[in-house]
Structure 1
Amino acid sequence: MKIAKLLLGAATIFCTIGQAQAQGPETEILEEYASPGVRGMGKGKGIVIGYERLPQFDIESEARDNRLESGSGRIRRHNKFDVRINAPILNKPQTKLIFGIDYKFEEFNFTDVTPAAYDLYEYLEDKNLQSIGSQLVYLRSIDNRRFYLIRLKGELNGDFTKDDLDTDLIDYFKSTIDVAYGWKKSPDYAIGVGLQFGYTFGRKSVYPAILYNRTFNDRWGVEAIFPANTRVRYNLNEKTLLFAGYRLEGASYNLTVDKGNLSEFGEIELRRTDVKGILRLEREIYDFLWFGVEGGFRQYYRNRVFDEVGSRDEILDNDLSGAGFVRVELFVVPPRRFMEKNK
């Protein structure tokens, strides 16, 4: 759900503006220029390193093409790793331009995979499904009430190697455009609407979102990009934040299978969508260095394979059992002295 990441990322990056200029929880004094962030939100994340792991769960694959067979198996481990870096290249009171790069991959390890095993599972075993992306986020504050966002992003998604990128770079490339418009009602309340034109679920389509950030008092708040992401925030203190909520996640990968029955299709596409119920803790380690820990339950909504990239013709429908998960993060935020200087 990339529009969710856009809005939430922008909110956390720019929430410091509102926090720095707001006077107190009982006032309604707006900052000079509007932003998506509200008082009490966590600091913007400049560098994030994350690792996620899901334990054992079952998988059943139903063939939707007569050239394939159905199968079943057990995934003993599902790992995900990601690194994100965001940095301002223009930082004026009314205009912000943020450049970001990210790298992530996920891998599946199956129980008892042999050369005679089911084609899809044998192929995915220990295979790195990768994504390399870069983006530009433009935030423009019209006045102290209104703002808008534009994000341009390009990604390479799939099972590619360095040699693949040297020869078939364009085959793995996908672009995304996000736009959002919002209103800052008070230092504790921001709303907005947004659209994404991109490949969140494989085929290029338009997806809507509604931003709702609200701080009710010194402890409680809500951060939401409905319907993709909603969480309740509890500020234990300025160094510790607790969250509870849900998050929708989606991904698509271009796969080039050269063995088994799947090789008849050439380049295929794996698309997945899942929903997670989440409990999360964020805690300061030292000034600019924080860590995050989250856990919960992941339930797959869709996990399907298509006969070619962007196609509507489904050849496999995978049913994955629900499973618990745990994720850990280490991230860098603006130093406290920098925040004090901005005040």
Structure 2
Amino acid sequence: MKFGNLLTILLSMALFVAPWQVQAQVPETELLEELDEYASPGVRGMGKPRGVVISYERLPGFDIESESDDPRLGNGEGHIKRHNKFSVRALAPVLNKPQTKIIVGVNYELEEFNFENLTPASYDLYRYLEDKNLKSIGLQAAYLHSLNQRNFYLIRIKGELNGDYTRDDINISDYFKATVDVAYGWKKTPDYAIGVGFQWGYTFGRQRVYPGILYNRTFNPQWGVESIFPANARLRYNLNEKTLFYAGYRLEGASYDIFADQTSLSQFNEIELRRTDIKGLLRVEREIYDFLWFAVEGGFRQYYRHRIYDEVGSADELITNDLAGAGYVGVELYLVPPRKFLEKD
């Protein structure tokens, strides 16, 4: 079960803010009796590990307003009929020993915008983004090592190619984005784990270092908390071993390199779109059959930042977009290890 909980954590890994201390509430001798295995970030009651995940998310219509200080671009406004996201990802262990685990994964994601009533006179950015697939293809490797029954550390390295992929003469360096996660944690009891660390990545759009806190705790057979604060936090309710409910929030960020040919943006050659948004969510996960699960998630998404920069990595904003908040709904279908494998482990 330690390995499964690790996978769940890796899929949402993004770290921020300074650490804070939490004290164990059971005697030291009792802790030593309970901790009869190597330490890990997972706690009892968390969902099963995921091998392959297919997901789709849709946001209905919302307004967009754009401003630019560059007179060649000007300002614009429009209405987005729908915003679609689709992803496929897979994780698998290449080393699965009690004290050391190495997991590798691949992912493919895309998102697109569909605008309402576009014409040749519409704002150039909107015409370019219409039905344009902003893609992300990634490869990652994670290393979890347990020092003893109490202490563990985790390192994850991920490389992605993020962009519109519209040019024939592109180089990998045009779209490459790297993310590194490092965390150190303490396993207080089988139901309680905390950790501190940092991410060098794109949670807030631009690549920076974000320190943070991991806090996983199961209070009783029904209730628990799973969080990597402030990137995400969820309250968990276990109806039974086949049905789990969640309520919480999640921060999401992305960075795409784009070449907006045949528009006024082409004069800037390679530009960068960065976005950060926050989602308040309700989620249910349910077993269909042993190794097959599905999830339905819905809530409200509010954009924190959505901007175009004149070149990759630049701090100079070319266009500032204001996107209205909107509800969203998403579905997932995913594979987990058969129950007999987990029981054997």
* Same-fold call, TM cutoff 0.5: yes
1:279 aligns with 2:277: no
Percent identical among aligned pairs is 70
Please say which of residues 194-203 and 290-299 is displaced more in the overlay: 194-203
Q: How many residues align?
A: 322
Q: Which residue of 2 aligns with 1:97?
A: 102
The AA in structure 2 aligned to 1:256 is F
Q: 1:62 aligns with which of 61, 67, 70?
A: 67
The corresponding residue for 1:20 is none
Superposition pairs of residues 252-267 of structure 1, within 5 angstroms: 252-267=255-270
Within 5 Å, which residues of 2 pair with 1:1-343? 8-10=8-10, 28=31, 29-161=34-166, 163-164=168-169, 167-342=170-345
Q: Give the Cα separation in 2 of the matches to 1:227 and 1:133.
A: 24
Alpha-carbon shift at residue 66 of structure 1 (Å): 2.9
The secondary structure found in structure 2 opposite 1:263 is: helix
Could you tell me how far 1:12 is from its partner in structure 2? Answer: 9.5
Q: Quote the Cα distance in structure 2 between the aligned partners of 1:178 and 1:142.
A: 18
Bigger shift: residues 30-39 or 48-57:
30-39
Distance 1:11 1:113 in 2: 37
Go from structure 1 to structure 2 and tell me whether the alpha carbon gap of 1:161 and 1:98 turns closer, same or farther (over 3 Å shift): farther
Give the Cα separation in 1 of the matches to 2:152 and 2:305: 35
Tell me the amino acid that sits aligned with residue 9 of structure 1.
I
Q: Give 1:174 shift.
A: 1.4
Separation in 1, partners of 2:236, 2:243: 11
Q: Distance in 2 between matches of 1:186 and 1:218?
A: 15
Separation in 1, partners of 2:313, 2:203: 11
**Structure 2 residue identity aligned to 1:35:** S
d(CA) in 1 for partners of 2:296, 2:108: 20
> Scaled by the length of structure 2, what TM-score is found?
0.90
Cα displacement (A) at 1:299? 0.5
For the 8 Å contact 1:295–1:325, the answer to whether it is kept is yes
Which stretches in structure 2 are left out of the alignment for 5+ residues?
Answer: 1-5, 14-29
Q: State the distance in 2 between where 1:11 and 1:77 align.
A: 26
SS at match of 2:168: helix
User: Secondary structure of 2:171's partner?
Assistant: helix
The CA distance in 2 between the partners of 1:334 and 1:305, in whole Å, is 42
Task: Tell me, yes or no, if the aligned pair for 1:64 and 1:317 is still in contact at 8 Å.
Answer: no
Shift of 1:30: 1.2
Deviation at 1:201, TM superposition (A): 3.7
Q: Normalization by structure 1: what TM-score?
A: 0.91
